[in-house]
Amino acid sequence: MGVVPICLLNDNKDYSRKTKQVICLTRCLIDGISHDGQGVGRLEGLAVFVPGALPGETVDIEVTQRRKNFARARLNAVLEASPYRTEAPCPYYWECGGCDYQHAEYDLQLELKTRVVDQTLQRVGKIDTTVNPCLPSPDIWRYRNKVAWHGRPSRDGWHLGYYRSDCHDILEVKNCLLISESMQEISNTVGEQLRQLPQPLPALEITVRQSSVDHKIMVIVSGIERKLVLQTLEGQYPMGVSWIHHQAEQCSVLSGEPLLREQLHNTSFEISPMAFFQVNHGQAEQILKIITQWLDLQGNEVILDAYCGVGSLALPLAGQVRKVMGIEAFKPAVKDAQANARLNGLRNTRFLAGLTEDVMPTLTNRFDAVILDPPRSGCAPGVVQSVARLNIPRVVYVSCEPSTLARDLALFKQAGYYVKEVQPLDMFPWTRHVECVVLMSRVKE
């Protein structure tokens, strides 16, 4: 392919912003990938991280920061390009902080995510196991059912968009390829309406969610007073769109319906505005399929679902087992889970409100399996010990962060559990993020 100047890659990112001083110019072979999607090469035995570079490429770089154990560099030109390098279809890509892999073909992204999971489990958790190939997303574009926009006032009015790469400046995005066209259309409308807000005001956040069942849209406004929203948007709510005001952990309906409808594995859900639900519906279905296959449910099991949210995993499994118990700290989600159990006619469920690390030590039940789906920070201290104390024979761990997954798997290993299978899924195409489902057993088979 020859020399590819970085300007031809639409690279407007200032990777040397924080250092300002270029230390040296050099050529580098990229032979690895970091957990956050940066190319990794070697200079005089020192690992160097190069955003925008792909494994197998020879690149011209500007070293902008040198530390004892690593260096950081700006990509100046691609001298020998990877055959998997491609032109990013999104015009905002090289400025936006949302995506990381639009310069790579999709098959390579799956390979890199598998590699990151494997490397992280070995490096952080000292877990030596086979990692299955990353499963592709059924939809790789416009797959997100939720988007959060950041609003900031400036001298020329309000700006609504994503954070730029490596800073909190706002980049206005008029067509994000990860959300539906109808979500983007509503977002653009909200952006125009925000320009009517007076100044100065604090920053705000606009969350747009869309149902995969009836495709209805919900807009959640956070960060400004309800009366100000009403004054600004009075009579301007688009038909068929629910408008919600969120402040101090309280939600109130400005217009439309208070709940969002969803469905997984023939189980219906009604979700409150701030409750968590997987952003990629197709991959959420895939996770449920994997868990069902791994647990090989016979109908008499008792399942514990920790960090259960609205019951998106617990409720579809409830019809296949004797009993399901869920634990969730966010009280509105607990109410959703209880209501959704009634909605689906399920009487073998129980949902407990509280922190998983606080509730689990109080349990005395016998469980055949536990599902752990913690936030990005992983399991809270003490959760692994509680699972071991309850002597739960099988553990399914759903993770969106390989480093905290590896840390927790190491703790499970110390507690006598063995990793049986690791399945990455591409929940977030074009980004560095990767979902993992791990099956563990108390007894090595």
CA distances from 122 to 3, 131, 402, 428 (A): 36, 11, 11, 23
Q: How many CB atoms lie within 10 A of CB 323?
A: 17
Residue 310 tokens, joined: 């609205």
369-372/302-306 β-pairing? parallel
User: Is position 400 annotated as part of the catalytic site?
Assistant: yes
Say if domain 117-138+276-441 classifies as CATH 3.40.50.150.
yes
CATH of domain 146-210+217-256: 2.40.50.1070
pLDDT of 344 reads 97
Query: What torsion, rounded to 10 degrees, do the Cα atoms 427, 428, 430, 434 define?
Result: -70
Helix (H) or strand (E) holding 6: none
- Position of tokens 């002597």? 391
CATH of domain 4-80: 2.40.50.140
Q: How confident is the model at residue 249 (pLDDT cuts 50, 70, 90)?
A: confident
With contact defined as beta carbons under 8 Å apart, do 311 and 319 qualify?
no
pLDDT of 103 reads 96
Q: What is the pLDDT of residues 258-302, one digit of tens each?
A: 999 999 999 999 999 999 999 999 999 999 999 999 999 999 999
- Domain boundaries of the chain, sorted by first residue: 4-80, 117-138+276-441, 146-210+217-256
Q: How confident is the model at residue 199 (pLDDT cuts 50, 70, 90)?
A: low
* Fold agreement (117-138+276-441, 146-210+217-256): no
Q: How confident is the model at residue 235 (pLDDT cuts 50, 70, 90)?
A: low
Distance CA 128, CA 130 (A): 7
With contact defined as beta carbons under 8 Å apart, do 422 and 436 qualify?
yes
Q: What is the pLDDT of residues 35-63, one digit of tens each?
A: 999 999 998 889 999 999 999 999 999 99
pLDDT of 24 reads 62
Backbone angles phi, psi at 162, to 5 degrees: -95, 165
With contact defined as beta carbons under 8 Å apart, do 369 and 297 qualify?
no
pLDDT of 203 reads 78
* Mean pLDDT for the chain overall: 90
Given 28, 96, 400, 436, which residue is catalytic? 400
> Is the confidence at residue 401, as pLDDT, over 80?
yes
Backbone angles phi, psi at 77, to 5 degrees: -160, 150
Of 430, 440, 434, 370, whose CA–CA distance to 399 is shortest?
A: 434
pLDDT of 195 reads 75
With contact defined as beta carbons under 8 Å apart, do 104 and 184 qualify?
no
Q: What is the pLDDT of residues 290-349, one digit of tens each?
A: 999 999 999 999 999 999 999 999 999 999 999 999 999 999 999 999 999 999 999 999
Distance CA 274, CA 13 (A): 33
- Kindly state the DSSP code that residue 421 receives in the 8-state scheme: E
**Higher-scoring residue by pLDDT: 193, 83:** 83
The pTM of this model reads 0.91
